[in-house]
Amino acid sequence: MATTPESTPGTTCVRSIPRPRRRRHWKTGRVMHDDPARIEPLASAPDRQPVIEHPRAWYVSIDTTSQGESRSVAHISNIEYVRWLDRAAELHLDHLGWTRQAMLASGRMWFVARHEIDYRAEVHADEHLVLATWVRDLKRAKSWRDTVIWRPSTQNGEEPTIVCTASTLWVQVDLESRRPCRVDPEMAVALDPLQPPRSPSTGVEPCM
């Protein structure tokens, strides 16, 4: 048990703090970490990578842990891939200056309307992956974001192995009216869609 002192006038008290429990995978017996994966932005694009359509894609690294493994098969759960997609998109917006706190303060937020995911290879615990994501298309309140996740090339000269490709439809919503609202021009430019944004339609209200 870890301890931390708490002081009151004339007394000294020590409060016990339980250490986090080290859980083990039910099948493999390996210690399971609290975080399903460690996801961090990359400072630059990797030297060797698969074909990435956008010349200015956003890159992150993913280090998997046993916490993300499926309960039925000893590989990373398909659900974790969805978490990676969401987190990478969030980090991209953070980098552009639209953190979730900033979005909330502006009264709007991006919501996922659809995921289209192709699982192309298994991923296991303690693997290092790279993810590239970019905005493909921006129409009024909706945005399609594409993502590629791969296992980097090895020292043996093997080419990168794509483990997942995905397309996600995001919709910007006004948090008061709960209706889709147009992306403002500043954000549209910063998102740098692969396909130039089209003129806004009168059928979608601006964010207030």
Q: Which residue has the higher pLDDT, 205 or 85?
A: 85
In 3D, which of 59, 75, 65 has the Cα closest to residue 22? Answer: 65
Q: Long-range contacts made by residues 17-21, C-beta under 8 angstroms, separation at least 24?
A: none
pLDDT given at position 92: 98
* Residue among 48, 122, 45, 133 nearest 86 (CA): 133
Apex 49 CA angle, 33 and 134, nearest 5: 80
Q: What is the pTM of this model?
A: 0.77
The more confident residue out of 2 and 104 is 104
β-pair partners for 24: 31
Q: Please report which confidence band the pLDDT of residue 10 belongs to, taking 50, 70 and 90 as the band edges.
A: very low
**Is pLDDT of 32 > 70?**
no
Consecutive H or E run containing 109 = strand 108-119
Domains, the chain, with CATH or none: 33-198 (3.10.129.10)
Tens of pLDDT, residues 107-139: 999 999 999 999 999 999 999 999 999 999 999
CB 40 within 8 A of CB 48: no
Locate 182 and state its tokens: 């147009």
| pLDDT recorded at residue 199 | 55
Q: Which residues of 138-164 are buried (b: 16+ CB within 10 A; e: fewer)?
A: bbbbbbbbbbbbbbbbeeeeeebebbb
Q: Quick one: CA dihedral 107, 90, 145, 59, positive or negative?
A: positive
Mean pLDDT of 96-105: 95
Are 43 and 124 within 8 A, CB to CB?
no
Which three-class secondary structure state does DSSP give residue 107? coil
At 139-181, the pLDDT tens digits run: 999 999 999 999 998 767 788 999 999 999 999 999 999 999 9
pLDDT of residue 205: 54
Residue type, 208: M
